[in-house]
């Protein structure tokens, strides 16, 4: 049985067990895409998924965005360790703009800790924010701990990094992602906003209750998760990432280095209490836009992506440069991800219980 056949067998078994309607995967070996396969439906009409079906990237966007920001850092456009006020012409708290993209930064007035936040902190989820400001009781943005001191997953951290690039440096993040990530890696059906040419082969989604949900045509670039992509394209991204495409080896190493210990029992809720030191998983750390860990096959990293009708994951073994990427337009598929990844890569030590603490995982 070929690797692709073994992965497909595990994927079909996982879909049967979870009821997931659609799933696609790509396999990368030594930095090269071996192949992709697609299973099931792309919509409630029963039209099939294909290798060019546009699906939500969800939070896989964060890994691609971090890859782009590190390119800018390598060129000296931005310093990952310089506090963000360096790049802003006026205080962050003075901004009053588009609530569909940026957070209400004025609600940070009176808390000058924002002045100590750096791009590196934003990319490794340690700025101190909740996941999103609109989940706060008062719908404001708040810093909950000393920036840089611990990990707490935050989409708003990535949105603030986007703000620094766009409002501070005058860059267009959508254009930068096209020029630095999507075009060089041959990701021809990937974009940070909706494109009309996506419409001819497009995935809707399914919720945990099995309800179909139409694809959301996103018109605003959001570094936290607006990317539309295909399994073919995201496999090319994974391959480029482990090859360190368009990055020096030193810059590439920063992306997937264990930069900050992760000290919580689960990724969500975002601001969950830290574990006592002797109960923490010692190898689990934040990289830049990814989570790093040490498994039986050596150092590895992964990134998940999730919303109410989407489940995605990317897992890579650093030394072998092998990866598996899974996109599903049915969130129920997430429970089968551990078994599918194991069929692709063997036992990796991926922190499934931390990532999917609320799910009964299939193994």
Q: Is the peptide bond between 231 and the residue preceding it cis, with omega within 30 degrees of 0?
A: no
Q: What is the DSSP string of 114-152?
A: GGG--HHHHHTT-SS--S-GGGSTTS-----S-TTSS--
Domain limits, the chain: 3-56+189-355
3-56+189-355 carries CATH number 3.40.50.720: no
Cβ neighbours, 10 Å, residue 201:
17
How far, CA to CA in Å, does 275 sit from each of 209, 263, 281, 349, 351? 32, 6, 9, 20, 15
Q: What is the pLDDT along the chain (363 residues), one digit of tens a residue?
A: 789 999 999 999 999 999 999 999 999 999 999 999 999 999 999 999 999 999 999 999 999 999 999 999 999 999 999 999 999 999 999 987 788 899 999 999 999 999 999 999 999 999 999 999 999 999 999 999 999 999 999 999 999 999 999 999 999 999 999 999 999 999 999 999 999 999 999 999 999 999 999 999 989 999 999 999 999 999 999 999 999 999 999 999 999 999 999 999 999 999 999 999 999 999 999 999 999 999 999 999 999 999 999 999 999 999 999 999 999 999 999 999 999 999 999 999 999 999 998 777 765
């Amino acid at each position: 049985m070929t690797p692709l056949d073994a992965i497909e067998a595990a994927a079909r078994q996982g879909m049967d067990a979870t009821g997931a309607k659609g799933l696609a995967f790509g396999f990368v070996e030594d930095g090269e895409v071996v192949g992709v396969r697609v299973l099931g439906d792309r919509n409630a009409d029963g039209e099939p998924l294909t290798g060019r079906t546009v699906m939500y990237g969800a939070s896989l966007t964060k890994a691609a965005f971090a890859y782009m920001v590190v390119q800018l850092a390598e060129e000296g456009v931005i310093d990952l360790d310089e506090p963000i006020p360096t790049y802003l012409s006026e205080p962050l708290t003075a901004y009053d703009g588009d609530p569909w993209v940026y957070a209400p930064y004025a609600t940070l007035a009176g808390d000058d800790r924002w002045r100590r936040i750096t791009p590196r902190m934003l990319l490794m989820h340690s700025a101190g924010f909740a996941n999103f400001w609109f989940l706060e009781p008062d719908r404001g943005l708040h810093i909950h701990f000393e920036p840089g001191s611990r990990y707490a997953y935050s989409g708003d951290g990535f949105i603030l990094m986007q703000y620094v690039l766009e409002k501070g440096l005058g860059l267009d993040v959508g254009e930068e992602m096209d020029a630095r990530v999507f075009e060089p890696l041959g990701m021809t059906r990937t974009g940070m906003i909706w494109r009309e040419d996506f419409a001819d082969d497009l995935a809707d989604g399914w919720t945990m209750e099995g309800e179909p949900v139409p694809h959301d045509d996103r018109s605003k670039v959001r570094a936290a998760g607006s990317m539309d992509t295909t399994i073919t394209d995201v496999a090319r991204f994974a391959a480029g990432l482990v090859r360190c495409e368009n990055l020096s080896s030193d810059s590439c190493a920063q992306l997937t280095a264990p930069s900050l210990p992760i000290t919580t029992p689960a990724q969500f809720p975002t601001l969950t209490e830290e574990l006592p030191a002797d109960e923490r998983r010692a190898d689990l750390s934040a990289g830049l836009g990814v989570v790093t860990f040490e498994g039986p096959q050596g150092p590895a990293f992964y990134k998940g992506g999730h919303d109410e009708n989407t489940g995605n994951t990317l897992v890579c073994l650093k030394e072998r440069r092998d990866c598996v990427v899974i996109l599903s337009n049915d969130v129920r598929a997430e429970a089968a991800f551990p078994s599918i990844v194991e069929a692709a890569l063997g036992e990796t030590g991926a922190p499934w219980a931390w990532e999917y603490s609320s799910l009964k995982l299939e193994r």
